[in-house]
A and B are shown apart, each in its own frame.
Chain A
Amino acid sequence: MNKIIFISFLVWTLAIGSLQAQNNATNICNTDEKKVAFLFFNGVWNTKKDARNLMNLLKQRYGNKSSQGDTIVYEVMYNTTKGKYSVQDIAETFAQKLKEKGLSIRYEIYYLLRVPYAYDMLKNIPWIKEYTGSRKS
Chain B
Amino acid sequence: MKKLHFTFLVVSILFISGCQLDFWESSGRIPKLDRTDTLSGVDANNDGVRDDIEKWIKKRWEKEPLKQKALLQYAKAAQKSVMVDLNNQEEIEKIDELDTRAQNCLWSRFTSNDLHSENHPINIGKEIDAYTTNTKERLTHYLAYNEKLDGTTSRLPEGDTCDE
Which residues of A are at the interface with B, using a C-beta cutoff of 8 A?
43, 47-49, 52-53, 55-57, 59-60, 64, 73-80, 86-88, 91, 95, 101, 104-112, 114-118, 121-122, 124-127
Contact = CB atoms under 8 A, between A and B. Distances in A.
Contacts of B146: 47-48, 80, 87
B116 interface: yes
Interface in B92-136: 96, 99-100, 103-104, 107, 113, 115-116, 118, 121-123, 125-127, 129-131, 133-136
The interface residues of chain B, by DSSP majority, are classed as helix
B140 interface: yes
B12 interface: no
B150 A43 contact: yes
B21 A109 contact: yes
Contacts, number: 125
Contacts of B99: 48-49
Contacts of B107: 56, 60
Interface string B139-157: 1101110110111111110
